[in-house]
Amino acid sequence: MKVDKSPSVVGGAMIAAGTMIGAGMLSLPIASAGMWFGWTVMIMLLTVFFMYITAEQILEVNLGYRPGASFDTLVKDNLGGLWRFVNGFSVAFVLYILLYAYVVGSGSVISNTIGHNFDIAIPRYQSSLIFALLFTGIVWWSTKAVDRISTILMIGMFLTLFAAVTGLLGKIEIPYLFEPSGESRYAIYAFASLPFFLTSFCFHASVPSFVKYYGIEGKKIKKAIAWGMSITFIFYLAWMVAIMGSIERESFLSVGSDQVAWLLDEVNASPFAGLALRFFAFFAVVTSFLGAGLGLFDYIADLFKINDGHKGRFLTALITFLPPTILGMLFPNGFVLAIGFAGLFAAIWSVIVPAAMVINYRKKAEKSGQKPAVSFRAFGGKVMPYIIILYGLVAIVSHLLVEVFNVSALNFFK
């Protein structure tokens, strides 16, 4: 008799890493320019720790439900209708703002690559429009099409990222990394970077999918999440070393309105590494666009109860992709700004909501006197959820202060 094997930890780790690694990492060097390398590593480690704990908190609650229970169900049952609305709005806003960022980023990458290699000038709004129409069509056609194309693109993304980073690592200047590091006056800019790193380590809507995929196997899911975050951290660390080691800190003062194109042009890379970097940027934007687009597409279809036929999918595609496409063409310089705002709202649904949810879930279990079906508990005991909520609030306030007082990485010498 054939026995179905449980999915491997490695497979789950790659799903988690693939969800996190994407176009958002193009914003990290610019967001980190104020604090530079030493503080960047510290903030990354802090972010990994807190985001891993919040994933565990979602997992703890989710294991008390049947496999297949959605994140929306968990929030509704443990926090009520108001928080369900807040959470749903935050998720939708994050996905919309990310789609806008990816439309903008696609225009920068495509125009820059064609101009750099073929000396042909293509307006960014035209590149963005062509990109949006093409990949919106793929999402409209079928989820299976997105699956197959995303798999190919993910392979391309990892290969080109490896080629670009290894090529850049051979060109790094160690003094670029450590000359300004460690000075206390740079610490203030660490707060400005919090929303960007939070977004880049965010995959928490996938935790219920892990429970559906693995079943009630808390330890195995925990390992998959831990390995996935570790892989992502290693990629991001190599990326920051490669970029910050090849661009002087003062050069970030010259960042123009098209931040992505500036980054691609500024790095000290061989022609091969430079081309690999541009292809990575394109693959990262496409995979992120397809992932965020499919998530929002399904959310919109479920919210408005739109049928899954071709006409229904066309209507859903219009609601999903038309607003970010129009905004991307009208306001083509908002890539980094959009990633920051995504981090602000991601702090709500991927940090504050999981912590509040696990607090109420445990209180309900204590009142009922029933032991959970699975003996899994997120790290940190009773105190950690409150620390997590504080972390989420700090990230939100930090972003708001950046917008109000312009305490950004781009004016750190002023």
In the Cβ-directed half-sphere of 256, how many Cα atoms lie within 13 Å?
10
Domain contains 1: no
Q: What is the pLDDT of residue 410?
A: 45
Q: What is the pLDDT of residue 374?
A: 64
Total length of the chain = 414
What's the token pair of residue 26? Answer: 């193009």
Tally of structural domains, the chain: 1
Query: Is 394 within the bounds of a domain?
Result: yes
Predicted confidence at residue 389, as pLDDT, reads 97
- Of 394, 403, 413, 340, whose CA–CA distance to 191 is shortest? 394
Q: Is residue 122 domain-resident?
A: yes
Average confidence (pLDDT) over 109-121:
83
User: Is residue 175 in some structural domain?
Assistant: yes
What pTM was computed for the model?
0.85
Inform me whether the pLDDT recorded for 280 exceeds 70: yes
Residues 6+ apart with CB under 8 A from 330: none
Mean pLDDT of 23-50: 91
Domain range for 394: 9-410
**SS3 (DSSP) at 6:** coil
382 within domain boundaries? yes
Residue 174 domain-assigned? yes
179 falls in which pLDDT band (50, 70, 90)?
A: low
CATH of the domain at 56: 1.20.1740.10
Q: What is the pLDDT of residues 188-209, one digit of tens each?
A: 888 889 999 999 999 888 888 8
Question: Higher model confidence: residue 280 or residue 171?
Answer: 280
pLDDT, tens digit, for every residue of 288-329? 898 888 888 888 888 788 888 888 989 999 999 999 999 999
370 exposure class (CB count in 10 Å sphere: 0-12, 13-18, 19+)? exposed
2 found inside a domain = no
Q: Answer yes or no: is 45 within a domain.
A: yes
Highest-confidence segment of 167-171, 274-278, 370-374:
274-278
pLDDT for residue 348 is more than 90: yes
